Amino acid sequence: MAYAYLFKYIIIGDTGVGKSCLLLQFTDKRFQPVHDLTIGVEFGARMITIDGKQIKLQIWDTAGQESFRSITRSYYRGAAGALLVYDITRRDTFNHLTTWLEDARQHSNSNMVIMLIGNKSDLESRREVKKEEGEAFAREHGLIFMETSAKTASNVEEAFINTAKEIYEKIQEGVFDINNEANGIKIGPQHAASNATLAGNQGGQQAGGGCC
Amino acid sequence: GASPCPAAHHFSSTRPAPEGCMAGCRRFHASSGCSLFLADDPASGVHLGVEGGILCQLLRSPDYNLFPKSAVFESNFIQVTKQGNWVDIHNAPTLVTLGVTSSEPCLPLPNVLLIARLAVLGESPLGRADQPQEPSMALSRLLPLRYVRLSVQDSSRRLLRVQVVTGKVYYLRLHQAHPDAVFMLWSRLADILQRGLSITTKDPAIHVPHSLVLSVGSSSTSSPAQVRRLGVGFITPGLRRQLTWGSGARERDRMPWGPLSVPTCQGLGCPGGPLSVPMCQGPGGRWGPSLFPHAGDCPGGPLHPLVLWDL
């Protein structure tokens, strides 16, 4: 399908915070409570519309386990956006954000938009990290912030789309050099076209799920 | 010199790739020595459907632009159960394309496994340029091969077993459209990935100068690390030819994976220039290409950090 832009996203964060579930919810609109441990990268893709332009999100879901961390670092290359995910019911996943952020900053381009996500917001009774703490961390480090639930789909669309909006705004402002592929943005064949307004989304494509 | 496959077109899943891409791939493989097949017939891999296929084109499309200078060995499979039955609950075949490649073209063995799903099956799942209908493809997984164990489950049924480090096992039956020769290649690849490769001067099939160390005027007091690197430089063009596919049936039988043919590693990938094959001492103390060489072993110093994939 023709698109105006392609944005590469990377999803990072500790193991078990729900990275793959977020991807599956966003691309397939379904929740899978048990998910195999991610090794390497699982890819997902979906078209969205921003400012009347078709934008393809190419999403790289990475392994969160410490033992695969060195490999994950190599996937930051050319990412325009990152979803940094923690689990609101596990304080340790929040405590590790600084390390993830350092990694992301060090191995990605400086303009990469980072969305901080506190996932599993449906598990309010088990909450260990207050929403205010997430907001404060995001504010301090210049990130966007949302709490989501991959299970109920709460804010999942918004998390992906708002990140894209931020990237799109940076393009409009000239912050991103769209001719430099290292920025994780590719211009598609449909770049010139389109008049419709506002963000929305259109049916998607697959994500790494079911089969191998 | 080597040039990447010029798949500059937008990857359109339903349209066949322009012939130019295939031709570019052939030229690249032939000139770089990275061809998986007979040196005198670089197109044979394409005709077998395992080289320059849709996965290769997808990887090199602007959408991904991954491993642009590395050869990609790929085939189509149907995911099945251990018994060989379809896994899909709707009793429809689950088609996947399996491919291996190298994060750096200078690596002697592949270190990346790719899994893509064929969304729509056209009449020609082999992705050959001479047949118009091609399936659409979505890349679904990228796995460092060090976390995967590839083996033959049942050669009579052309069944591969893919076990991921987590313990998850997949069974894949080679698509019927592929000839048996393709399954043989996968079998050899699995064997090599498991056992590794080594080159020894004791092997009479390979003509190697008596000393691997002395002929470049290097000091005999070189450190082991120096020797290791210098040793690379002693691969003569003649030896290179012998290590390349197509140099003789015997070599072919032993070395089905072409990149052992000492890719020339030009461009960003290997600033060390030609003949920069990372070597290491194998478990048996023999010199040879490492099974899963670290990209940092690339002679000529560290690569650009964005290029070097720590796989």
Please report, for the domain that includes residue A70, its CATH number: 3.40.50.300
In a domain, A212, yes or no: no
Say if A208 falls within a structural domain: no
**What pLDDT does residue B46 have?**
76
- pLDDT confidence tier of residue B250, bands split at 50, 70 and 90: very low
Per-residue pLDDT band at B98 (split at 50, 70, 90): very high
> What is the number of helices (H) and of strands (E) in chain B?
7, 9
**DSSP letter assigned to residue A212:** -
A58 touches chain B (CB under 8 A): yes
Would you call A172 an interface residue with chain B, using a CB distance cutoff of 8 Å?
no
Q: What is the pLDDT of residues A42-68, one digit of tens each?
A: 999 999 999 999 999 999 999 998 878
Q: B100 pLDDT band (50/70/90 cuts)?
A: very high
Does residue A199 fall inside a structural domain? no
pLDDT at B122: 44
CB atoms within 10 A of CB B113: 22
pTM: 0.69
Instruction: Specify the 3-state DSSP secondary structure of B31.
Output: helix
| Interface size between A and B, measured as CB pairs under 8 A | 71
Instruction: Identify whether A197 is part of a domain.
Output: no
The mean pLDDT of chain B is 61
Instruction: Check if the interface score ipTM surpasses 0.90.
Output: no
H-state helical runs in chain A: 19-28, 69-73, 91-95, 97-107, 131-141, 156-173
Per-residue pLDDT, B171 = 95
pLDDT in tens, B278-307: 333 333 333 223 222 233 333 333 333 223
Residue stretches of chain A with pLDDT short of 70: 1, 190-212
Higher pLDDT, A170 or B18: A170
Looking at mean pLDDT, say which of A33-37, A120-124, B217-221, B240-244 comes out highest: A120-124
User: Where is average pLDDT lowest: A5-9, A70-74, B45-49, B217-221?
Assistant: B217-221
Lowest mean pLDDT among A13-17, B62-66, B120-124: B120-124
Q: Say whether pLDDT at B148 is over 80.
A: yes
Contacts of B168 (CB under 8 A, 6+ apart): A36
What pLDDT score was predicted for residue B121? 45
Flag the least confident range among A93-97, B153-157, B163-167, B247-251. B247-251
Whose tokens are 């070599």? That residue is B251
State the pLDDT at residue A70: 74
Q: Is the pLDDT of residue B38 over 90?
A: no
> Is A201 domain-assigned?
no
- Which among B147, B305, B309 is the nearest to A39, CB-wise? B147
Indicate whether A82 belongs to any domain. Answer: yes
pLDDT in the model for residue B35? 45
Q: What is the pLDDT of residue A112?
A: 94
State yes or no: pLDDT of B271 exceeds 70.
Answer: no
| Least confident among B2-11, B117-126, B145-154 | B2-11
CA distance B210 to chain A (A): 40
The boundaries of the domain holding residue A42 are 5-191
B166: pLDDT strictly greater than 70: yes
- What's the mean pLDDT in B190-205? 74
The number of distinct structural domains making up chain A is: 1
Helix (H, G, I), strand (E, B) or coil at B76: strand
Say if residues B231 and B279 touch (Cβ distance below 8 Å).
Answer: yes
* Angle at CA of residue B61, ends A29 and A85, nearest 5°: 40
Check residue B135 and give its pLDDT. 63
Structure tokens at A113: 């938009």
Q: What is the pLDDT of residue B47?
A: 75
Q: Which residue has the higher pLDDT, B15 or A189?
A: A189
Is A181 in Cβ contact with B166 (below 8 Å)? no
pLDDT given at position B226: 34
Give percent of chain B above pLDDT 90: 27
Listed in sequence order, the residues at least 6 apart from A115 whose beta carbon sits closer than 8 Å to its beta carbon are A81, A82, A83, A84, A143, A144, A145, A146, A159, A162, A163, A166
pLDDT at B232 over 90: no
* Residue A73: predicted pLDDT: 79
Find chain A residues with C-beta within 8 A of B94's C-beta.
Answer: 211
Taking an 8 Å Cβ-Cβ cutoff, which residues of chain B contact chain A?
Answer: 10, 62-65, 79, 87, 94, 96, 103, 115, 117, 119, 138-144, 147, 162, 164-166, 168, 170, 172, 305-306, 308-311
Of B37 and B100, the one with more pLDDT: B100
CA distance A44 to A161: 14
Whether residue A205 is contained in a domain is answered as no
A209 within a domain of the structure (yes/no): no
